[in-house]
Amino acid sequence: MKILVCISSVPDTTSKINFTADKSAFDKTGIQWVINPLDEFALTKAVKLQESQGASVTIVTVGDAGAEAVMRKALAIGANDAVRINTEPKDSLTVAKEIAKVAQEGGYDLILCGKESLDYNGGAVPAMLAQLLNQPFINASVGLEVNGSEATVVREIEGGKETVSVKLPAVIAGQKGLVEEKDLIIPNMRGIMTARTKTLTVKEPSETDVKVKAVSFDSVPARAQVKLVSADNLDELVRLLHEEAKVI
């Protein structure tokens, strides 16, 4: 079985987010990049299938050379090889088209990805990818078992969970719960050293027509100063909630 895992390189959640002086672009200065956390659940699941079923695992990333450190970490976690599409990801459709081309050329049985990246939270790429490949798509997956050419998937729905079966090949977008957090793989020294020798193929993009352009960015407004009210001064608390917060 051949598995393709889509990996996105995103800023660490502790990084301070800034934009350029004209607010036209994200300022990458001093940013620590990590594997998109939801993609990490998908990658760990793929490695578990590699161990249990002898699957081969390829990761694919759409990004510039700066993404390669994150890709090497994914290789250290256990992926067999990697493909980087040498272009900055600017919109969901362009990213989906580039990944679809890699998937078609590789003939993968299963494509795994996080349901969304935690930088833009678009959540559009997995569904677009499935449509471009004309393959079944299951979103918000929190459980996955593969038996031959069929997969059993548990996904979250409003008010509960649903178990479905799907014929492979298919695109499955996972989230927290696809594997337990305690089972997420931390690269050891052997994995890190081995990752240096694994194949990382760089391909030039086939698409140059970007449909979406970011015009400007704005930072989230700073939080208002907190006002402390004495526990025995309920009248003042009610006044503030009514006159300033306007919630009552």
Number of neighbouring beta carbons within 10 Å of residue 154: 17
For the cut 90, the answer to whether the pLDDT of residue 243 exceeds it is no
Question: For residue 239, which amino acid is it?
Answer: R
On the 0-12 / 13-18 / 19+ scale of CB atoms within 10 A, 49 is buried
Backbone angles phi, psi at 56, to 5 degrees: -100, 140
Q: What is the CATH number of domain 2-220?
A: 3.40.50.620
Extract the tokens encoding 195: 């990752």
Compute the 3-state secondary structure of the chain and give helix, strand, coil in percent, each to the nearest 5.
30, 25, 45
Extract the tokens encoding 50: 């590699």
Percent of the chain residues past pLDDT 70, beyond the cut = 100
Are the C-beta atoms of residues 34 and 42 closer than 8 Å to each other?
Answer: no
Percent of the chain residues past pLDDT 90, beyond the cut = 69
For the cut 90, the answer to whether the pLDDT of residue 19 exceeds it is no
For the cut 80, the answer to whether the pLDDT of residue 173 exceeds it is yes
On the 0-12 / 13-18 / 19+ scale of CB atoms within 10 A, 111 is buried
Alpha helix ranges (H) inside 36-124? 37-53, 68-77, 92-106
Task: State the pLDDT at residue 126.
Answer: 96
Are the C-beta atoms of residues 123 and 129 closer than 8 Å to each other?
Answer: no
C-alpha to C-alpha distance for 109 and 15, rounded to whole angstroms: 36
Task: State the pLDDT at residue 151.
Answer: 96
pLDDT band for 164, please (50, 70, 90 cuts): very high
C-alpha to C-alpha distance for 36 and 13, rounded to whole angstroms: 10
| pLDDT (tens digit per residue) in 99-143 | 999 999 999 999 999 999 988 888 999 999 999 999 999 999 999
Task: State the pLDDT at residue 175.
Answer: 95
| pLDDT (tens digit per residue) in 77-93 | 999 999 999 998 888 99
| pLDDT (tens digit per residue) in 1-16 | 999 999 999 999 888 8
Residue 230 backbone class (left: φ over 0; alpha: ψ -120 to 50; beta: rest)? beta
For the cut 90, the answer to whether the pLDDT of residue 180 exceeds it is yes
For the cut 80, the answer to whether the pLDDT of residue 76 exceeds it is yes
Task: State the pLDDT at residue 244.
Answer: 85
For the cut 80, the answer to whether the pLDDT of residue 208 exceeds it is no
Of 105, 61, 101, 100, the residue nearest 79 (C-alpha)? 61
| pLDDT (tens digit per residue) in 30-58 | 888 999 999 999 999 999 999 999 999 99
Segment 192-204 mean pLDDT: 95
User: How big is the chain by its Cα radius of gyration, in Å?
Assistant: 21
